Amino acid sequence: MTSFWSRVVVGAALLPVTLGLVWLGGWWMFALVAIAALMALHEYAGMTKRLAPLMAAAYLGALLTLIGERLGGVDWMVAGFLSTLVFAFLLKGIAETRPPTTVSVGATVLSVGWIALGLGYAMLLRDIPEHGRLAAFTVLIAVWAGDTFAYFGGRLLGRHKLAPATSPGKTWEGFVIGTAATIFVCFVALYDQDWVPIWESVVLGAVIAIAGPIGDLFESAIKRDMEVKDSGQVLGGHGGMLDRLDAILFACVASYYALLAFGAF
């Protein structure tokens, strides 16, 4: 099976399951993001093994981050994340790792801050009173639409490299097409809803359109540093779990604070 058709089959299989669990919310969505977080952390460990991240601390910190969000919202989510620093430092004291503390502990804390906090903000979007389901669906579908249209737009029309040193496959043409798709999805999803006005839906689309590709480029920079092509192969043509989450992790954080700034909750 070619990479293209592998992407289509995997996407068609995962999309309804993901949206279904997000629709249910609560502990159902917690189970979804917890599994995704552990898979992504495992891929991160494989990519950054020469930095010797203390993954036992990362797994524990990630779970406490997500449990903290489920039980106490953003405050306890941050508390769970900060516990990672303590666990990593204590584990460094007894582990026989060659890289210095600043490297191994820093790589550990980065993994939880990047992956678990990003997924925690996805749950926070779903927990928005009255409009959480709409918020989560809007952000997720907008990210997927932007990524898909940027991919095909870049393949068909791409001529000018967006970030040649970091991700040579991305083009400005693809970015513009993806941005248009992202804003359109937000406009349609939030149009004629008794929640945010039209101009705010457009601004939200622009925020997602910027944050998503930055998240993608962030992962690309790490992969380039670690000299790997994909974070994994578990999702076939999509690569690894991190390759599917990279844009979502940044977009959920940015969207949450954009909606908070709008006074939407």
Give me the phi and psi of 128, to 5 degrees please: -60, 125
The DSSP secondary structure of 227-239, one letter per residue, reads: T-S-S-STTGGG-
Residue type present at position 201:
S
User: How does pLDDT run across 112-152, given as a tens digit for each residue?
Assistant: 999 999 999 999 999 999 999 999 999 999 999 999 999 99
pLDDT reading at 3 higher than 60: no
Instruction: Assign 227 a pLDDT band (cuts: 50, 70, 90).
Output: confident
Q: Which pLDDT does position 4 carry in this prediction?
A: 55
Q: How many CB atoms lie within 10 A of CB 46?
A: 14
Burial zone of 102 (CB within 10 Å; 0-12 exposed, 13-18 middle, 19+ buried): exposed
Listed by start position, the domains of the chain span: 3-262
Asked if pLDDT for residue 237 goes beyond 60, the answer is no
Structure token digits, residue 78: 């941050």
pLDDT at 5: 54
- Own/partner contacts of 257-263, CB < 8 Å, gap of 24 or more, are 258/203, 258/204, 258/207, 259/125, 259/128, 259/135, 259/196, 259/204, 262/196, 262/200, 262/203, 262/204
Please report the pLDDT score of residue 15 as a whole number.
83
Over 60: is that where the pLDDT of 216 sits? yes
Q: Which two tokens stand for residue 32?
A: 């979804």
